[in-house]
């Protein structure tokens, strides 16, 4: 089973999830290599296979919303670590600048490190599951 570098896969998810981007990423089912098509990456330095758009040997890297790594992650953290604030956090995300307000609240509660650890652990678990579904192993 090919191994996918966890950091490379996380970076690719962030790249394809960036608002307004047309960037794309794939993982090779043969090697586990993460391949990226982006204006930020010189394709001459990192050439893509000619059949990347058509071959079933390359699986597209999903958007973070598809993986429930957006609001669901925030709400899960609020439920687990900030139960008294959980309803307020949900209301917060009905207004603009919600992530900034959430970050400020997390910092006020002294939970910044815990939030980062939670987000990283959940992200790795979700990506490991995605890899397994696609015959890959997260390394």
First to last CA, the chain: 11
Same domain as 106, residue 55: no
Provide the whole-model pTM: 0.84
Model pLDDT for residues 8-29, shown as the tens digit of each residue: 999 999 999 988 889 999 999 9
Same domain as 114, residue 81: yes
Residue numbers in the chain where pLDDT is lower than 70: none
Same domain as 113, residue 94: yes
- Residue found by looking up tokens 């687990």 in the block: 80
Same domain as 58, residue 9: yes
Q: For the chain, what is the mean pLDDT?
A: 93
Percent of the residues in the chain that have a pLDDT greater than 90, as a whole number: 82
Same domain as 57, residue 47: yes
Same domain as 120, residue 75: yes
Same domain as 58, residue 7: yes
Domain count, the chain: 2
Side-chain half-sphere exposure of 10, counting CA atoms within 13 A: 14
Same domain as 56, residue 7: yes
Same domain as 84, residue 44: no
Q: Residue 67 in 3-state DSSP?
A: coil
Same domain as 41, residue 7: yes
Same domain as 79, residue 58: no
Domain that holds residue 100: 71-125
Rounded to whole angstroms, the Cα distance separating 129 from 125 reads 6
Same domain as 131, residue 107: no
């Amino acid at each position: 089973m090919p191994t996918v570098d966890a950091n490379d896969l996380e970076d690719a998810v962030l790249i394809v999830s960036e608002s307004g981007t047309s960037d794309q990423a794939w993982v090779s089912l043969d090697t586990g290599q993460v391949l990226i098509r982006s204006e930020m990456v010189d394709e001459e330095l990192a050439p893509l296979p000619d059949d990347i758009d058509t071959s079933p040997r390359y699986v597209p890297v999903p958007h973070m919303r598809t993986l429930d790594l957006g609001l669901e992650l925030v709400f899960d953290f609020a439920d687990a670590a900030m139960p008294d604030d959980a309803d307020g956090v949900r209301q917060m995300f009905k207004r603009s600048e919600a992530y900034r307000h959430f970050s400020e609240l997390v910092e006020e509660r002294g939970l910044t490190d815990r939030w980062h650890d939670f987000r990283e652990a959940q992200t790795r678990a979700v990506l490991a599951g995605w890899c397994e579904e696609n015959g890959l192993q997260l390394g």
